[in-house]
Structure 1
Amino acid sequence: MNTAAAFRPFQTSLAVQQLAEGLTFSLDNALHPLSLLAVSELQLHLKHQQEWAGKMFGVLVVRTETGELGYLSAFSGKLAGENHHEGFVPPVFDGLVDGGFVNEGMTKLTRINEEINSPETDAVQVELLKVLRKDHSTSLQYRIFEQYHFLNKLGESKSLIEIFGDRNPPAGAGECAGPKLLQYAYQHKMEPLALAEFWWGSSTRSDHWKHGEFYAPCREKCSSILAHMLS
């Protein structure tokens, strides 16, 4: 994998080097000057991408193996219906791959729904199909969760199933910006220094998200994952 594909170096300067001196990763340093510098550069790019509005973005300030300072960028979930965009880290697991089991599984769910809604399907068949749909959906979701494996700073890998233990992972777990950024950094032997996440654009789902404001990683989906990744 090409490290340079997602890594964006800062312009080398004494000020940047000084800001990074003694900096160790913490979820509390989202507003560190280097985080804000990375955010400002990413937001300058986002201003020219109007179709990307209404999304959580994140930056991770990193130091490479050669000591170069820069940052990685990520978005939560999908962006414009896609998992891959130039300049952003890839997903931990790509369920959109053509011919993959996710697409096949969703196609089967669509067929079941069509049968349920067909006027030719009697009441008994409908109930049987609903049970089949639930079982298939549960099995598909479990298989998806098994594909998400996250590294920690020691190089140890755990799946979402292992991370959440006796709890079912919430839908969308593993798709947030923070875990995606840390995963890419660990894979490429980069040292994480500071993480910042912000909402960009309007929100159609909730008034909670405000354009340009910073937010901590969500507790429901990310806290367990990050606890492992930072251990």
Structure 2
Amino acid sequence: MSDTLTKPLLIPFGERAAAYTLPEKFTYPFGYTPHALALLAAEKLQQQLAQQQEWVHNFGLEAGQAGTIIGKMFGVLVVKTAQDELGFLAAFSGKLAGSYHHPAFVPPIFDALMEGSFLNTGMRELTRINQEINTLQDQGKTENATRIDELQKLRRTNSVALQAKLFDQYHFLNQKGEVKGLRDIFQKRANGNPPAGAGECAAPKLLQYAFQHNMKPLAMAEFWWGQSPKSTTWKHGHFYPACHEKCKPILAHMLQGIALDKSRNSGPPYCIFSA
């Protein structure tokens, strides 16, 4: 197979892929042993992460590197295009090196950091309100109490409205072309609101890009890259299932109509395969 593919961000496997059989069913995201092609894709991505010099992110893997140590979940999605080309897509959860956009990675569902974003404007207004509250509180004057109360209520109202508007920017596709909004997906949740960060994990980003570009998902895998957070069991280079709290409701919509493999999570919690 040629290393030149027709779709943007589709990474070729090269001739090595010819030795592998394509999966009959798509990966069950919440418990799996990575398919051989997903492992090959992860291997290629991990090599890129270890060698790239286009951006700087402190994963905690190099002694003395500046900046806060932030490990990161990465994902790969093996796909086939309408032109019968085989390759894979790559994604990271949240932000990487302070940005949602990097070459070779699929874009976010919504870029909250783009210039002139309502989120930036709203956050600046919340900061202004906080500063005014702090100034009035520091003055220690009784007559400031009414104004402080007004500002605190305004802050609460603005914060709720800003969060709701942010949620409304997230819309997810499935292979049928059906679109569903984030708040619709999480409407049965106890408080009716999605959890913070929903839609920013690797799996939804990968599937969204695949469906937008008429690609057929074949297999996926997600792995942790970097130093482990103190409170978790995540380990560098290990593979993990998609999260339940943020991803399961979203993926239930995105994977509608796609035949899924059986759950194969037979290892310890979270870590199901070591690269």
Under TM normalisation by the shorter chain, which class is it? over 0.9
Q: Quick check: 1:9 aligned with 2:12?
A: yes
Is 1:126 the counterpart of 2:128? The answer is no
- Tell me: CA distance 1:13–1:198, structure 2 relative to 1, closer, same or farther (3 Å): closer
Q: Structure 1: which 5+ residue stretches go unaligned? A: none
Give unmatched runs, 5+ long, in structure 2. Answer: 60-70, 257-275
1:45 to 44, 48, 59: 48
Q: For the pair shown, which has the larger CA radius of gyration, 1 or 2?
A: 2
2:117 pairs with one of 79, 94, 100: 100
Q: Secondary structure at the match of 2:220?
A: strand
Q: Which runs of 4+ in 1 moved over 3 A?
A: 2-5, 12-16
Q: For residues 116 and 219 of structure 1, do their structure 2 counterparts lie closer, same or farther at Cα, with a shift above 3 Å needed? A: same
Q: C-alpha displacement at 1:67, in angstroms?
A: 0.8
- For the residue of structure 2 that corresponds to 1:147, the secondary structure is coil
In structure 1, the residue matched to 2:82 is 65
How big is the shift at 1:135? 1.2
8 A Cα contact 1:30 1:197, kept in partner: no
Q: Measured at CA, do residues 14 and 36 of structure 1 come closer, stay the same or move farther in structure 2, by a change above 3 Å?
A: closer
Q: Which residue of 1 aligns with 2:73?
A: 56
Paired position in structure 2 for 1:26 = 27
Give 2:176's aligned residue: 154
Paired position in structure 1 for 2:269: none
Q: TM-score, normalised by structure 1?
A: 0.92
Q: Tell me the amino acid that sits aligned with residue 82 of structure 2.
A: E
Task: Write the distance in 1 (CA, Å) between the matches of 2:116 and 2:234.
Answer: 35
The residue number in structure 2 matching 1:173 is 198
Secondary structure of 2:116's aligned partner:
coil
Aligned match of 2:213? 188
User: Would the aligned equivalents of 1:46 and 1:52 in 2 still touch at CA under 8 Å?
Assistant: no
Contact 1:30–1:195, Cα closer than 8 Å, also in 2: no
Q: Identify the residue that residue 167 of structure 2 maps to in structure 1.
A: 145
Q: Which residue of 1 aligns with 2:241?
A: 216
Cα 1:124–1:91 shift into 2, 3 Å: same
CA shift, 1:210, in A, is 1.0
**Does the Cα contact within 8 Å between 2:12 and 2:88 map onto a contact in 1?**
yes
Any conservation in 2 of the 1:102–1:144 contact (CA below 8 Å)? yes
Identity value in percent:
55
Q: Which TM-score applies when normalising by structure 2?
A: 0.78
Residue from 203, 207, 213 that aligns with 2:232: 207
More helix by share: 1
Match of residue 67 from structure 2: none
State how far apart, in whole Å, the 2-side matches of 1:149 and 1:205 are. 33
Is 1:198 the counterpart of 2:200 in the alignment?
A: no
How many Å separate the matches in 2 of 1:125 and 1:76?
Answer: 41
Structure 2 residue aligned with 1:74: 91
Measure, in 1, the Cα distance between the counterparts of 2:214 and 2:248.
23
Aligned partner letter, 2:42: V
Say which of 185, 194, 199 aligns to 1:163: 185
Question: Distance between the aligned counterparts of 1:3 and 1:108, measured in 2?
Answer: 44
